[in-house]
Amino acid sequence: MLDIDFAAVAIVFLLVWVLVFVLKRVFFTPVDRARSRRQALLGGDKDAFRNAVAVYENSVQTIETTLKSARSAADTIQAGLEAQALQEKGRIVSSTTGEYRSQVLKARQELDEEVKGLKKELEAQVDAFAENIEKRLLD
């Protein structure tokens, strides 16, 4: 049968535990510390990234709100200016139309007066024309 040497098994067992203890102290603990520091740094970086994204989103939201209010203000100003321009156009058209009407009436009055003057001249010359025509016909 198998002959087991308990002293050799105990020494191997003891050496394995010493090796595990030494490796834990020399290798695993520093690696775990380095991993922990790295995770802490990455966690800090992730938090900083999230904070930066939140600040960016707040800035974008503020800018969009400002742009919307500026656009609405510009639209309001534009609508006011358009209304004012239409009123000014209407006023100019009305005053121009009034001026043209007054000039047309004045021209009509002048023409009527000139026609009356010419009719008077014609009436004055009618007798002379009639005599001239009568002389021609009788001659």
Segment holding 4, helix H or strand E: none
Q: Strand, coil or helix: what is 139?
A: coil
pLDDT in tens, 2-56: 677 888 889 999 999 999 999 898 988 988 999 999 888 777 778 888 899 999 9
Task: Average the pLDDT over 72-76 and give the result.
Answer: 95
Report residue 76's pLDDT band, with 50, 70 and 90 as the boundaries: very high
- Cα(101)–Cα(82) distance, rounded to whole angstroms? 28
pLDDT at 1: 57
Both tokens assigned to 139: 């001659």
